């Protein structure tokens, strides 16, 4: 499980989704899975089973884009091979064609057919999204939304919160799953985590044991409370 | 500024305070401030500017309560009469309420100087209403992300507070976002020596650390447990810290640097060290209390960095830990970057955000025996457990859970 540039992309704990995937893999009996962290400027030495790219703050975005460009060929190769990628917030924006900022426009990597444009106002609060994996819950705090090109599906429909504006959140494009739900989105939504794990490991996964049960029970209570108010 | 025109506002504020207390013991501390700020918007700024030896403002992401209390202790030991605010009253309404407590009917407080802890956001908004003699800035950490979107924003707020300093801005010289500020007043840095930074494997927790350590001025040159060596005017002092941790040594360095600047020739190193030694552990930070016949250590965590620093300072293999996260944490996401595996086992996880912090601990590999969102029940059960095999009972909590814990256990503050 590869966490990309966690020193830049863990502001909201997004990079910890790599830990969530690795723990769940172990809980499902894949004992050889562990988290690898790639720092900006380092070259990947092996092919990951899944990739997590978290969000960073606007002043650090240019540095994140520069680091991503250095591994762009690797990243494109993994995506072509179907390696699942979770991209969150500005990490997702970095994969689009462009990011529109107040002071100008930054070119993205162009791996997601969309651009990131400013929202009318900052979105901060709970976010509930109806997706094929079920209702997903999380927390958002950002000031831009993705404008997807025609035919590109979002992750899901917003039931509460803002997401990318226009009633939807995130994107599904190839093996990339993108969202505005920052922090431990995969811990709070085990169904999404296990769908990514199944894609990563090439077959359905089923977590077992007391720790997994305790974690998923806590996640279920968080989800129930949020969905009740959605 | 002593002025009879504040008499009605002061009387109204006191009436409201009395009413709030009659309704709920210990309650309503911000309400009188809210009312007075409404009926007399000039009150706060005028009282703040009325101290004969001026106003000192302490702000920053973390450590402001500890630093404020240390500075006050040093000044009092030098014979100064100091007005200060309780750490729970560091935002506008609470500050006004705290001033009301002590103000005469004409809006004047009988003290030589004021040392006030100010929340960075509220302090920035209040900045054009006060003039400080000295501003003391602790650090910029990635903190309360849902309120302050990024560290640069916090930096800008502290810049507005620093701009109000007339004599000096005493700031953390290891914090790159603070050293980038350019106030009109003279900048007096404090910091740590290379060896101290090298001994902190995760760094100091600042959003950005300067490439070079300061070589002169007030510097922490060594920290061992609760003992620190701090150099002031080139003379190394042995300082006893309120609890283990490099961050407390840095807080002490900031307080010493500010005290030295404020007192000038009257500053006496032995008096200062004596004052720090005598300080009772600061409210909720490494504080050890005895309740219901049990010794309990309180550990307050406020953001990712303080969570990490405090967990790193816990003794390994603690047998009885309670972790409580309250409603003050709107977005628990920013507690996720912390490596909490060292906690090992949490007997009970509690507070209104119990499930959120339980999830973090479980994925970090911490054993969680039980999740009990009702903090009162969790505390009762935790205290009723027999004395631990290893270490002492330890409660790690956020600010809101701390307040509820103290109230449940009948502790002051």
Nearest to A59 among B150, B358, B368 (CB): B150
Indicate the CATH number for domain B4-278.
Answer: 3.40.1190.10
Query: What does the pLDDT look like over B353-400, one tens digit per residue?
Result: 999 999 999 999 999 999 999 999 999 999 999 988 877 899 999 989
- Characterize the bridge pairing of strands A168-169 and A156-160: antiparallel
Average pLDDT, integer, range B59-74: 91
Length of chain B: 413
- How many C-beta neighbours within 10 Å does residue B50 have? 20
Distance from CA of B381 to the nearest CA of A (A): 20
Q: Is the ipTM of this complex over 0.90?
A: yes
pLDDT band at B20 (very low <50, low <70, confident <90, very high): low
Contact B362 A188 (CB under 8 A): no
Lowest mean pLDDT across B107-116, B159-168, B279-288, B326-335: B279-288
Query: What does the pLDDT look like over B385-394, one tens digit per residue?
Result: 998 887 789 9
Nearest CA in chain A to B141: A11
Contact A184 B336 (CB under 8 A): yes
- How many C-beta neighbours within 10 Å does residue B390 have? 11
DSSP A91-111: HHHHHEEEEEETTEEEE----
Read off the tokens for A144.
Answer: 């831009």
Q: Map out the domains of chain B as residue ranges.
A: 4-278, 285-409
Selected for mutation to probe chain B from A15, A33, A140, A141 (highest B CB count within 10 Å) is: A141
Average pLDDT, chain B: 85
Instruction: Delineate the domains of chain A, giving CATH numbers in brackets.
Output: 2-229 (3.40.50.880)
As a whole number of angstroms, the distance between CA B227 and CA B114 comes to: 29
Average pLDDT, integer, range B167-185: 95
Query: What does the pLDDT look like over B179-200, one tens digit per residue?
Result: 999 999 999 999 999 999 998 8
pLDDT at B29 over 70: no
Contacts with B, A 73-102, CB within 8 Å: none
Sign of CA dihedral B247, B250, B254, B260: positive
Average pLDDT, integer, range B152-161: 93
Task: Give, to the nearest 10 degrees, the angle between helix B304-313 and helix B246-263.
Answer: 110
Q: Residue B367: list chain A partners with CB under 8 A.
A: 211
CA nearest to B361, candidates B351, B374, B349: B349
Residue-by-residue pLDDT tens, chain A, 230 positions: 999 999 889 888 999 999 999 999 999 999 999 999 999 999 999 999 999 999 998 888 999 999 999 999 999 999 999 999 999 999 999 999 999 998 899 999 999 999 999 999 999 999 999 999 999 999 999 999 999 999 999 999 999 999 999 999 999 999 999 999 999 999 999 999 999 999 999 999 999 999 999 999 999 999 999 999 86
Average pLDDT, integer, range B279-307: 77
As a whole number of angstroms, the distance between CA B244 and CA B369 comes to: 27
CA nearest to A222, candidates B371, B344, B347: B371
Q: Is the pLDDT higher at B328 or at B115? A: B115
**Residue B262 to residues B75, B133, B258, B388, Cα–Cα distance (Å):** 9, 9, 6, 46
Read off the tokens for B154.
Answer: 């916090």
Contact B359 A219 (CB under 8 A): yes
Length of chain A: 230
Selected for mutation to probe chain B from A1, A9, A57, A143 (highest B CB count within 10 Å) is: A57
pLDDT at B27 over 50: no
pLDDT band at B283 (very low <50, low <70, confident <90, very high): very low
pLDDT band at B239 (very low <50, low <70, confident <90, very high): very high
pLDDT at residue number B28 = 46
Q: Is B267 left (phi over 0), alpha (psi -120 to 50) or beta?
A: beta
Contact B333 A211 (CB under 8 A): no
Query: Would you call A18 an interface residue with chain B, using a CB distance cutoff of 8 Å?
Result: no
pLDDT band at B144 (very low <50, low <70, confident <90, very high): very low
As a whole number of angstroms, the distance between CA A16 and CA A183 comes to: 8
Read off the tokens for B282.
Answer: 């600061």
Q: Give the side-chain half-sphere CA count within 13 A for A164.
A: 24
Indicate the CATH number for domain B285-409.
Answer: 3.90.190.20
pLDDT at residue number B200 = 83
Distance from CA of A180 to the nearest CA of B (A): 13
DSSP B200-246: -TT----SSB-SS---SSEEEEEEETTEEEEEETTEEEEEE-SSSSH
With contact defined as beta carbons under 8 Å apart, do A28 and A206 qualify? Answer: yes
**Residue B146 to residues A14, A75, B43, Cα–Cα distance (Å):** 15, 31, 30
Contact B363 A57 (CB under 8 A): no
Contact A57 B358 (CB under 8 A): no
Selected for mutation to probe chain B from A5, A7, A184, A228 (highest B CB count within 10 Å) is: A184
How many Cβ pairs closer than 8 A exist between chain A and B?
Answer: 80
As a whole number of angstroms, the distance between CA B346 and CA B361 comes to: 9
As a whole number of angstroms, the distance between CA B233 and CA B251 comes to: 17
As a whole number of angstroms, the distance between CA A205 and CA A195 comes to: 8
CA nearest to B248, candidates B300, B208, B316: B300
**Residue A27 to residues A33, A37, A201, A209, B346, Cα–Cα distance (Å):** 10, 21, 13, 7, 20
Read off the tokens for A223.
Answer: 């989800």
Nearest to A211 among B150, B333, B362 (CB): B362
Read off the tokens for B343.
Answer: 């906690």
Q: How far apart are the first and last CA of chain A?
A: 32
pLDDT at B115 over 90: yes
pLDDT at B93 over 70: no
Nearest CA in chain B to A122: B149
Distance from CA of A182 to the nearest CA of B (A): 7
Contact B359 A183 (CB under 8 A): no
Phi then psi dihedrals of residue A41, to 5 deg? 95, -15
With contact defined as beta carbons under 8 Å apart, do B73 and B137 qualify? Answer: no
């Amino acid at each position: 499980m590869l966490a990309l540039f966690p020193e830049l992309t863990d502001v909201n704990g997004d990079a910890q989704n790599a830990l969530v995937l690795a723990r769940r893999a172990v809980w499902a009996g894949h004992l050889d899975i562990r988290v690898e962290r790639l720092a900006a400027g380092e070259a990947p030495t092996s092919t990951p089973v899944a990739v997590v790219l978290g969000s960073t703050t606007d002043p650090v975005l240019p540095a994140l884009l520069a680091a991503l460009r250095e591994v762009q060929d690797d990243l494109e190769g993994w995506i072509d091979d179907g390696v699942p990628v979770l991209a969150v917030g500005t990490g997702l924006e970095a994969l689009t064609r462009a990011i529109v900022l107040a002071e100008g426009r930054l070119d993205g990597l162009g791996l997601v057919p969309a651009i990131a444009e400013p929202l009318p106002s900052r979105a901060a609060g709970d976010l509930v999204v109806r997706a094929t994996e079920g209702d997903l819950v999380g927390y958002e705090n950002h000031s831009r939304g993705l404008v997807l090109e025609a035919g590109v599906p979002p992750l899901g429909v917003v039931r509460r919160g803002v997401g990318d504006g226009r009633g939807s959140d995130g994107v599904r494009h190839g093996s990339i799953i993108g969202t505005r739900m920052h922090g431990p989105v995969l811990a709070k939504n085990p169904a999404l985590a296990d769908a990514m794990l199944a894609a990563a490991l090439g077959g359905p996964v089923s977590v077992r044991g007391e720790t997994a049960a305790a974690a998923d029970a806590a996640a279920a209570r968080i989800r129930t409370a949020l969905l009740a108010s959605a | 500024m002593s002025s009879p025109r504040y008499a009605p506002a002061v009387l109204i504020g006191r009436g409201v305070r009395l009413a709030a207390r009659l309704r709920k013991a210990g309650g309503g501390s911000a309400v009188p401030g809210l009312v007075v700020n409404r009926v007399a918007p000039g009150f706060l700024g005028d009282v703040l500017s009325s101290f004969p030896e001026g106003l000192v403002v302490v702000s920053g992401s973390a450590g402001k309560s500890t630093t404020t209390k240390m500075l006050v202790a040093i000044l009092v030991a030098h014979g100064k009469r100091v007005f200060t605010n309780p750490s729970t009253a560091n935002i506008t309404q609470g500050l006004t309420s705290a001033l009301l407590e002590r103000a005469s009917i004409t809006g004047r407080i009988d003290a030589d100087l004021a040392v006030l802890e100010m929340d960075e956001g509220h302090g920035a908004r209040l900045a054009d209403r006060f003039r400080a003699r000295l501003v003391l800035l602790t650090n910029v950490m990635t903190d309360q992300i849902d309120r302050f979107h990024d560290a640069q924003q916090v930096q800008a707020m502290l810049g507005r507070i620093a701009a109000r300093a007339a004599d000096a801005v005493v700031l953390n010289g290891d914090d790159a976002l603070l050293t980038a500020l350019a106030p009109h007043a003279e900048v007096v840095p404090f910091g740590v020596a290379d060896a101290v930074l090298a001994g902190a494997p995760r760094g100091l927790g600042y959003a950005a650390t300067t490439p070079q350590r300061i070589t002169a001025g007030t510097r922490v040159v060594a920290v061992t447990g609760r003992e620190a060596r701090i150099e002031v005017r080139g003379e190394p002092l042995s300082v006893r810290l309120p609890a283990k941790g490099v961050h407390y040594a840095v807080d002490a360095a900031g307080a010493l640097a500010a005290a030295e600047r404020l007192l000038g020739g009257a500053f006496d190193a032995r008096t200062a060290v004596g004052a720090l030694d005598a300080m009772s552990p600061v409210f909720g930070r490494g504080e050890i209390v005895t309740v219901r016949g049990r010794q309990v250590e309180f550990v307050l965590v406020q953001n990712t960095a303080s969570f990490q620093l405090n967990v790193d300072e816990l003794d390994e293999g603690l047998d009885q830990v309670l972790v409580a996260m309250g409603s003050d944490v709107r977005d628990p996401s920013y507690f996720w970057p912390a490596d909490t595996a060292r906690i090992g086992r949490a007997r009970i996880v509690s507070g209104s955000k119990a499930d959120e912090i339980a999830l973090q601990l479980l994925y970090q590999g911490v054993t969680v025996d039980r999740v009990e969102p009702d903090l009162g029940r969790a505390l009762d059960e935790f205290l009723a457990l027999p004395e631990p095999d290893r270490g002492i009972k330890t409660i790690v909590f956020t600010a809101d859970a701390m307040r509820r814990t103290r109230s449940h256990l009948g502790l002051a503050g």
